[in-house]
Structures are given as structure tokens and as C-alpha cells.
Structure 1
Amino acid sequence: MSETTAPDKPEAVASAAPPGEAPEIQTLDPAFFDDPHATYHEWREGGGVRQARYPGPAPVEGWVVTSYAEAKELLSGRQLSKNGAVERFGRHVGLTQGPGSALFSHMLNSDPPHHTRLRKLVQKAFTTRRTAALRPAIEAHVAGLLDTWEGRDEVELIGEFALPLPLAVVFDLFGASDADHETLQVRGNTLDGGQGDGEVSVFTAESMLTYLQALIALKREQPDDGLLSALVEARAEGEEALSEDEITSMAFLLVIAGHQTTVNLIANGMHTLLTHPAQLAALRADMTLMPGAVEEILRYESPSALASLRYAAEPVDFGEVAVDEGEFVQISLLGANRDPRVFADPDRFDITRADAAKHLAFGHGIHHCLGAPLARLQAEIAFTQLLTRYPDLRLSEDHEARWQANPRHRGLLSLPLRLT
């Protein structure tokens, strides 16, 4: 198999509009998810900004930014707003209505000054020390999951490893008991609503709300050194403590965002390594390359395809393209991370790439993912133990990559592996 994947020009992509004219809205079909890189490559060549309608049960129509410089600038600035974006989208899917609405008042869905207050309080509780202290527990969880594979010739990596690992880790972070782990495992297996599209069903959201509220109430009565207890107690000078809804929605964000991102990072990473044998051999020969390999995986096949939803807070101009106030703007992390103006030969996977860490896989600016160090730590430990314990690890002979039909997440539906 080739070490380099160069995107073919997609037949269905419309050409760039003449100067001064808005490009035609591109309606993407489900085949888009097989290789979104090819489409985003074409859009970058055409100016980096397109109007598009993604497929799905509640398609979002709006502008999509695929170039690195513009993506980074928009992620950094205040031309785009988070306030109200989820509520606008929620009218289509019902997730911001009813009892589950409390789960969406977290900092990822807010702008300053509300975001500033939330981030300050959460960052006070979610410390580097707390993340680093999880290493022994993560190593034990990984080893325990791999122990269950003893005597087997074939496994399915996502369901049997990538899904349960981050759930166990986040509930270690919360200070949850083994019984809580088991309860959440049941809910975690249905985080995508059973649709295979990576989205959270209304039922799952409301079920999760009830569960998290009970766990938070327990931590109020019986505080410990876990993150939930720290969130309950978190205060900054001159700031009020987090409200009950804010704590609940932040816990939900850590479960959902941290879970889906880490599942995809592990699965995408193993698939990428196993389909690039020379890079895999180099990593096996020198495991000190692992941190750089994780950064290159994040760049090459970002677990989050689009940044969280935003809309234009004011008119925004991209050269000759004008985006009106109030229009949805999607920032393509997949597109930005393969921009040839930033990454030389961007469709080549190279674990020694010096500038891989410039990727935007975890966002940028004030909304940069707070859990990024934890996701990186889990990936490094997972890849290290998988490659060390199974020197003959490879894709199943009949494996064919099938991807989630979700424009926001980039993740495989399954990853069957041969162990021997």
C-alpha cells in the first residue's frame, strides 16, 4: 500500500464562481464522508471558503472555511459567535429543548465574558497535575482491556478498546466508583444514539443528565479529590461558584467531547499507522517518536472534522466572498490541517514531521480544547501498549474503511484487527 495519499479531484464539486459572484451552494452526498479531504482540497484551491449543505437528518447549511490562515484567525477572533448557535441549531434536532437543555450551557457554547468566567473556574479544577496523575490508572485500564484479548486471533478495536477506555478515564477523573464506571459504560455505548453518526440522541442526553446530577449530588455530600468535587468547590477571586447547571453541563461536555475525540484519535491513529507500514516500522524501532506520531495523526486524520458551530457576529469578508451577519460558519479542521501553504506535502503521513504540532485538531484560541493533554496521554499509552504487546498487529484481511456519516466528527465505524 502506498505511503502517500493524494486526493483525486472530486467529480461532484462545483468550480469556483466568477469574481464578484457568490459560489453555488454545494450539496454534499453521503459519499463525501469516504474522503472529505478530496473535497476540502478542491475548496482550498478555489479560495478556501464555500457555501455547503452537509448530508444528515438535520443538515446545517452555511459557509465552510478550509484554509489554515483563515481558520486560525477565525478561531482566535471575535468575528464569529458561539452564543445562540446551538439554540439555533437545536430548533432542527430538539437537543436544546426539554430537560436535557441544561447540558448545553457549558463554556464551549458561550462567548466572553460568560465564557471567560466558566473557563477560569474549570481550568482551576482541571489542572495539569490532575491530568498527569491519571497516567498509572490509564496504563492499568489499557493493560486490563488488552488482557481480555488473550488467546484470540482477531478483535474489533473500537467497541472492545477505543470506546471503553476514555469513559473509564473520564470517570477516574470525576472520582467515580467502579459501579459508576459500569453504569456509564452502558450509556457510553449508546452515545451516538445507535445511529453510527457520532451524535447524541435526546434520550441519551436526558438519561445522562439524570445520572450526572445524581453523581454531582453525591460529591457534594461526600467530597473527594476528583474533578467533580473540585468543580463544586471552584471559585476565583471576585467570581461566584459554578451553578448546578454549569457543573452538570461541564461534566457532560467532558464526557461527550472527550469521549468522541479520544475514540476517534485512537481508531484513526491505529488505522493510519497500519496502512503506512514504513512509518509503523519506524515507530516500532524508536518508540521515542511516539509524541510526534500522535501530533501527526492529529494533523493527518483529525478526530474532529469541524470546529464547534459558530455564526457570523458581524459581516465577514474573505477576499471577494462576503458572509452576512447571522449566517452559520463552519471551520474545517480537516481542511486547515492539510493546507499546503502550512504543511509541505500535506497528504503524506510522516511521524517525523517537524511542524505537525501546528495542527488545529484541538481548535485554537479561547476555545482550545481543555482536555487536549488528557487525549494525547491516552493515545500515547494506548499506541505504546498495543504495538509493544502485539508485534504482528495488522488490519483484518477483509477490512474496508467505513466512516461515520457525521460532518463534525471524523471517525471509523469499526476497525477489525488481527493479533497473530
Structure 2
Amino acid sequence: MTELTTARSETTVRAFPLPRTGCPMQPAPDYAVLRETEPVSRVKLTFNGREAWLLTRYEDMQQMLRDPRFESDIADPGYPLQFGFPLELLEQGIVQRTLFHMDPPVHTQHRMMLMPEMTAKKVEAMRPRTQEIVDELIDAMLAQGGPVDIISALTMPLPSVAMTELLDVPRDQTDLFYRWITSLVTQGTPEEHAAANTEVEILLHRLIAERTENPADDLISSLILRNRERGGDLGPTDISALVRTMIAGGHESTMNGMTMAVLVLLSHPDQAALLREKPELAGQAVDELMRFSSVADHGTVRVAKEDAEIGGQLIRKGEGVICSLTAANHDPRVFADPNTLDFHRKEAAQNIAFGYGHHRCAGQVLVRMQMEVVFTTLLRRIPGLRLAKPVEELPFKEKALIDGLHELPVTW
């Protein structure tokens, strides 16, 4: 048994999130120091003052994320909550927890409802339509002429159109979903969160009722039919939670991840040229871009339901834990020369930008395919694509669970 670090009085408590004082595409510089000197460190959330443990080593995160002694209960007082989610909606049964805040065996049961929709074969069948959408959006960019904001022109509408088509939701509801997702990943008020959640829940319950009576060829209908085949254990609120999981994971994370990846790509012209010349490297390129700039840096959190040791540190029952996925993806123990972007990097596929363990992103196959299409098409159709502003002048998001930009102007 290793000697555990138990003293709390001598532990430095840092404000969290840690600032990215260097290059905004790179992790906070303090992560590298903590990985070597204090890999399991104490932090205080600037959002609500709660204290938690911060993990910065890849191996420690893998250990914790597969340990059943840590759970995802958002209602636990020790959970490192970083946004104003209205817990009373859960208590009153107005909404159900999404997959992000479930644990096995319930998590397993609900996740298996979604997985048949996200197989490699099904996602690959979506590639031609994804290519059509991307080409249409790039046509509009070229017709407008530069400079254009690539977020409003491409990286936001692509996942929006893809998701509304997957769910067969009228496109005029896209703004509603976007407002709801934005409320989830920013530090808004509980009232703002409650209003957005309620509005989306009303829409989804209406759609579920319609598809229950008249099933169509869409994700909601598929979930309803699959639930019937499995005995009908899930009610409309459970189906709604599954759909909300897909919307949240398939929109905000995808949009910001795609945007940051475009920024990284255009900031590394040698790697952009390599991918333009060898589009067959697209899969490896996506792995490396996700590793290099993990936008969901500190959204992977757990709370201990009993005492446990991680990285030689005793974490007591009820204490929260935060995983810095960016710190893990720049751990030199796993990724040689981690601050270098390299599309030939063989270990890039080991990145945990999409999470790890049973909570690994269910829709990652779809997101990866969309990114492959976007990057290869942009480089092929607009070979002179470049940033229209210096990186230091770009408006990076603050006070958000998902890192990203408010605007990314490009030209050619």
C-alpha cells in the first residue's frame, strides 16, 4: 500500500479554471508544472467557490474514470458544478438527467438505446449528405467573398443542419436548441437555464408524442421503436433526455471543436499543406487536432462516493474531481513533444478529447466524420484560406465549459 497524501492544511488551493496566459490554442501553462510537481492538486471553482481535486496526468484520469467509486451525480453537494443548472427541474421530474450525469447500470441501459444509431456503417452512410451540406456552405462563402466569419458560415450551421435533419426537426427550431445549449455551457443564471430547459422539453415532448403516433425515418422515431422492442421501460421524459444528450454533444462541442481545429490548422501551414496533399491522412489529422486543442478541457468531472486513492492522493467520500483533458492530451509520458502538431503522430489516437471509459462520447464517430469532411474540403476548395486577424486579436470565449471563439474571420 502506498503512503497516501492526506494533509489538507499544506495544500495550495488555486482558483479554477486556470488561465491560458500563453498561446490560447495551448493548455494553461500551469498544467505542465502541476503534472510534474502536484498532479492531484486542490482547486476552488471561481463560479461557486466549491473546492475539488484537479487531475493533470493522463494515467490518473484513466484510473479515475474507470473507477466505479466515482460517480456523475450532478445533484451531489460535492459535484464540481460549473454552471447554474436548475436542480429543481430534476427534483420535480420536469427533466431527466442526460447521459452525462448518469452512472451504470442506468447509464448503460440508456446509452445502448443510442449506440445503434452511431455505428460506423450508419455514420459512413451520412457522409455524402454531409459533403453536400459542406459544399453548399462553402459555395455561399465563396460567393460572399472574404473575409467571412467561419463560425457563422460553416462550423455552426453544419452541426445545426445535420442535427435537425437527424431528428427531423423544423429548421426554424434550430435557434431554440442553440440558445438552450449555450445556456448549458455558459455561467448564466438558474432562471435562464430553467427557461431554456423548459422550452426545449416542451418541444421534444410534442415531437415524441407525434412520432409515437406516426413514426418516421428519424432518430426520435428510432428511439421510440427501439424502446418498444425492449419492453417500453423508458417514458417520454427518458427519450427526451437521450435526444438532449445528442443535441448537446452534437452541436456545441462539435462547433467549438471544429472551429478551434480550423484555427490550429491555419496556424500550422506546414500541416495544412500536408493534409491538402494527402487527404487520406484526414482521420489521423482529426485525432491530432483534437489532442492538440481539447475544447472540453474541464467539463469531465466526478464525485467520490467512497474514499479512494488516485495518484497517491487520498480523495475522500463526497469530494469532487475535475479532469483536465487538455493537460492529459499534452502529457509527455504518452505524447512525445506534446506541444508540436504532427499529423503523422502514431499515438494521437490515444487522445481522450472525447472522454474515456463508459462516458466516452457516444457520437464521436459522427463528429469525426464531419470534421474529416470539413477540413479536407476547405483545404481542397480554398487552398489560399488564411486567418483574417492575428491570433492575439481573436475573441476567445471566457466563462464557458467548452473552449472556443465568438468569431473566427478568415479570408483567401
TM-score (norm: length of structure 1) = 0.86
Query: Quick one: structure 1 residues 288 and 320, their matched pair in 2 at CA, closer, same or farther if it must change by over 3 Å?
Result: closer
1:26 aligns with 2:14: yes
- Residue 397 of structure 1: SS of its match in structure 2? coil
Q: 1:287-366, aligned counterparts within 5 Å?
A: 287-366=279-358
Q: Classify 1:129/1:220 alpha carbon distance in 2 versus 1 (closer, same or farther; 3 Å).
A: farther
Q: Distance in 1 between matches of 2:408 and 2:75?
A: 34
User: Which of 29, 32, 39 lines up with 1:48 in the alignment?
Assistant: 39
Say if 1:20 and 1:320, in contact at 8 Å, map to a contact too: no
Is the contact made by 1:64 and 1:330 (CA closer than 8 Å) also made in structure 2? Answer: yes
Describe how 1:46-195 pairs up with structure 2 within 5 A: 46-56=37-47, 58=48, 60-85=50-75, 93-98=84-89, 102-149=94-141, 150-176=143-169, 180-188=170-178, 191-193=181-183
Partner SS, residue 348 of structure 1: coil
Give the whole-Å Cα distance in 2 for the aligned partners of 1:85 and 1:334.
26
Which residue among 200, 205, 217 is the counterpart of 1:213?
Answer: 205
Task: Tell me the distance in 1 between the aligned counterparts of 2:187 and 2:378.
Answer: 26
Q: Look up the SS of the partner of 2:52 in the other structure.
A: strand
The answer (yes or no) to whether the contact 1:96–1:104 under 8 Å persists in 2 is no
Contact 1:196 1:413 (C-alpha < 8 Å) held by counterparts: no
How far, CA to CA, are the matches of 1:74 and 1:299 in structure 2? 20
Give, in angstroms, the shift of residue 190 of structure 1.
6.2
CA contact under 8 A between 1:124 and 1:234: conserved in structure 2? no
Contact map agreement 2:83 2:185 (CA 8 A) in 1: no
- Distance in 1 (CA, whole Å) between partners of 2:364 and 2:17 is 31
Q: Is 1:62–1:329's contact at 8 Å kept on the other side of the alignment? A: yes
Aligned to 1:10: none
- TM-score by length of structure 2 reads 0.88
Of residues 271, 279, 283, the one that matches 2:271 is: 279
8 A contact 2:39–2:57 mirrored in 1:
yes
- Mapped to 2, the partners of 1:242 and 1:129 lie a distance apart of 26
Q: Aligned-residue CA RMSD in angstroms? A: 2.8
- Determine the C-alpha separation between the residues in 2 that align with 1:380 and 1:195: 25
Letter in 1 for 2:405: L
1:387 alignment partner AA: L
- Provide the C-alpha distance between the structure 2 equivalents of 1:352 and 1:378, rounded to a whole number of angstroms: 20
Write the distance in 1 (CA, Å) between the matches of 2:267 and 2:41: 31
Secondary structure at 2:341 match in 1: coil
4+ runs of 1 displaced by more than 6 Å?
89-92, 194-200
- What are the superposed Cα offsets for residues 170-198 of structure 1, whole Å, 9 maximum, x if unpaired? 2222233xxx1222235425632499669
* Structure-2 separation of matches of 1:53 and 1:74: 20
How far has the Cα of 1:372 moved from its partner? 0.2
Partner of residue 240, structure 2 = 248
CA pair 369-86 structure 1, distance change in 2 beyond 3 A: farther
Q: Distance in 1 between matches of 2:37 and 2:235?
A: 46
| 1:314 alignment partner, SS class | coil
1:414 paired with 2:407, answer yes
Q: String of CA shifts for 1:258-305, please: whole Å, max 9, x gaps.
A: 211111221111100111111111111211111111000111101211
| Structure 1 stretch displaced more, 241-250 or 290-299 | 241-250
**Residues paired across the two proteins, number:** 398
Q: How many angstroms does 1:319 deviate by? A: 4.6
Give the unaligned 5+ runs of structure 1.
1-18
